[in-house]
Chains A and B, each alone.
Chain A
Amino acid sequence: MSPREPDPLRSALYLKRNFRQLLPVLLILALATSLLVLVLTPTNTFRRTHQANLHSLGYFTIVSPLLEKDFSPALLQILDSNPDMERRIPVKVFWVRYPMLVGEAFCPLILFEEKELPAMMDRLGVELEDGRMPRKNSPEVIMHRNVAAARGLAMGDWFGAAVDPDDATPGKYQVVGLFGGEARLTLGDYEHSSSPTYITSRSGDFQMVFARPGRKAECDYYLNFVKRDGDLILQVINADYVQNRIDKALRNLPLMKRFIAAAAASIVALVIALLNVIVFRSRICEFGILVAIGRKRGRLLRKLATETTLLGLLGWVLGLVLGYAGLALYNHLAFVPRGIIVDVWDPTAVWITAVLPVVSVAASILALDRQLRKVDPIAILQGRWE
């Protein structure tokens, strides 16, 4: 039996031997994809930053009175009646503002009794990386490394409204230690902030509630629905509450992403379809002779569609690689030093940019089908094709 000859109309052969000619199509798709990755992925900084700021709420719940100025003994008794609570500690909670990619983020400044700090850090899984722990009855704080970087604060620096009136954090604090990890917090001493001579003493107390192991949902349920005289009595700040707030705040963000993706896909599809038509017209003799020797137009359209699809996928994958690599580099050079959290490997852009090859391939196939239908083999064979 005679050896088998491979199909000369296979798309891979065409792509391999005409790679340079197809480079513009490939590059436009790759660059458009990478541009979308570079523009869209950093928008996850808004959600990621808020999540990092509020990560600690997965370990405890903060409550404050909803109807009273401070926790009365009766209210504390209601708290203590929660069968799923392990313990509670009084805290003061403020916010440390720091610049985000756009606008500002707020990281909790939680002030405890100094003796609670090591246990608290242990629960949150954070370790002091630089400096030392705050001293009792002092305005010293330890701060998440990225928050300090975002604020431009170094060890020994002071911050707060008393240092800079534009700073929204009441009082003044000195950074004496830095820590890393998931939870973005600033931790300091409760005793000093409660001193009547200090401005922060004016702010009401919060209670930090720790649930029994594995009972956080039940514990929070109690806090959310406990009532006195038919009224809810506690403002409960937990992960669900905050997530809900974040979702509401960011609910319009996908609109922008979808609009950018749709606009980019439309423009890129048009450009790619035009380029594919130009490439097709440069191959008109090829299709003229193939039609003349009896190749069916359906087979030729399948060849063109496969070539376009392979090229589209190749351009898209190349764009993803370029986009994510570029973003990783930019993250390393620009975002990380500024304490800006960007989830570089967020796969959302993969799905959003997938619209580029899909739309551009579909537009190209429609355009090429139209071109193929117009092929007049006689005109081509007789050199009359224009």
Chain B
Amino acid sequence: MKAVLEAKGVFLEYVSGRGVVEVLKGIDFTLERGEKACVVGPSGSGKSSLLMVLAGLLQPTGGQVHHRGRPWPANLDRAAGLRRSNIGLILQEPILIPYLTLRENVMTAALADDVAEGMMAKAERLGIADLLDERPMRLSLGERQRGSILRALINDPEVVLADEPTANLDFRNGLEVVELLKENLGVASLVLVTHDTRIIDQSFRTYNLENGILGGG
């Protein structure tokens, strides 16, 4: 199978008051089409940074990230266009624009304006169909997280990158969100970053990231 996302010898470091901090140390990672991968590790191990590098939001200081065999463009706007078309991003904090309804928030990511039917079908599966015209402040944290999942899935992306999507939810809600995410992925591949191993099951290929070094898989 051809890899949709591939990290080759990725290094990431930054300079802080404590000197040079190495966040990622030569990461090799491959995500096949339809594959579900999970990266676990303690806080500060570099999980989120890895996800941001995979999403093209962070340029690695060494190595390369390839999307469908081609490196992420260095140009920010070209990378943004590619990300919008192919990557669905779910974050720990479900950031929604407060003055827009849930429907409008989802539309901020949509590539086309004729997605109403698809959006409604996905919203029904996520259990938020009747909340689409609500503003975020009227939604619970769990509902907002489902809204951000809907936003990530609106363009039927090839890859969904989820950064601790359950961190702010209780266990039951977190588990439900992960289940809903898996059920609605379609053919998309998934990279789930979490520190909570209870929410992952056998369907995930699990990696362990510790001190910037990726193991397992």
Contact with A along B36-51 (1 / 0, CB 8 A): 0000000000001000
A297-B80, A382-B48 known; A8-B95 Cβ under 8 A: no
- A2 and B108 within 8 A (CB): no
- A293 and B151 within 8 A (CB): yes
- A297 and B77 within 8 A (CB): yes
Q: Shortest distance in angstroms between A150's beta carbon and chain B's nearest beta carbon?
A: 55
- A289 and B95 within 8 A (CB): yes
* Interface residue A9 (Cβ < 8 Å from any Cβ of B): yes
Which residues on B are within 8 Å of A, measured CB to CB?
A: 48, 52, 55, 57-58, 76-77, 80-85, 87, 89, 91, 93, 95-100, 103-105, 107-110, 113-119, 151-152, 163
- B95 and A5 within 8 A (CB): no
* Interface residue A214 (Cβ < 8 Å from any Cβ of B): no
Contacts of A2 in B (CB 8 A): 114-118
* Interface residue A103 (Cβ < 8 Å from any Cβ of B): no
- A8 and B84 within 8 A (CB): no
Closest 10 CB pairs of A and B: A294-B84, A8-B104, A294-B83, A2-B117, A17-B99, A2-B114, A289-B95, A293-B109, A296-B77, A2-B116
- A294 and B109 within 8 A (CB): yes
Q: How far, in angstroms, from A4 to B77 measured CA to CA in the complex? A: 26
Contact with B along A18-29 (1 / 0, CB 8 A): 100000000000
- B97 and A289 within 8 A (CB): yes
Q: How far, in angstroms, from A298 to B104 measured CA to CA in the complex? A: 20
* Interface residue A230 (Cβ < 8 Å from any Cβ of B): no
* Interface residue A383 (Cβ < 8 Å from any Cβ of B): yes
Which residues on A are within 8 Å of B, measured CB to CB?
A: 1-9, 13-14, 17-18, 285-286, 288-298, 377-378, 380-383
Q: Shortest distance in angstroms between A295's beta carbon and chain B's nearest beta carbon?
A: 7
- B99 and A14 within 8 A (CB): yes
Contacts of B81 in A (CB 8 A): 294, 296
Contacts of A290 in B (CB 8 A): 97, 108
Contacts of A292 in B (CB 8 A): 55, 57, 89, 91
Name the CB-closest residue of A to B49.
A378
Q: How far, in angstroms, from A30 to B105 measured CA to CA in the complex? A: 32
* The one of A4, A17, A288 that contacts B95, using a Cβ cutoff of 8 Å: A288
* The one of A4, A294, A382 that contacts B87, using a Cβ cutoff of 8 Å: A294
Name the CB-closest residue of A to B154.
A293
Q: How far, in angstroms, from A381 to B58 measured CA to CA in the complex? A: 12
Name the CB-closest residue of B to A290.
B108
* 20 contacting pairs across A/B (C-beta < 8 A): A1-B114, A2-B116, A4-B114, A5-B103, A5-B113, A5-B114, A6-B113, A7-B107, A13-B100, A289-B95, A290-B108, A292-B57, A293-B83, A293-B84, A295-B80, A295-B84, A297-B77, A377-B57, A380-B95, A383-B93
Contacts of B84 in A (CB 8 A): 293-295
Contacts of A297 in B (CB 8 A): 76-77, 80
Q: How far, in angstroms, from A3 to B52 measured CA to CA in the complex? A: 34
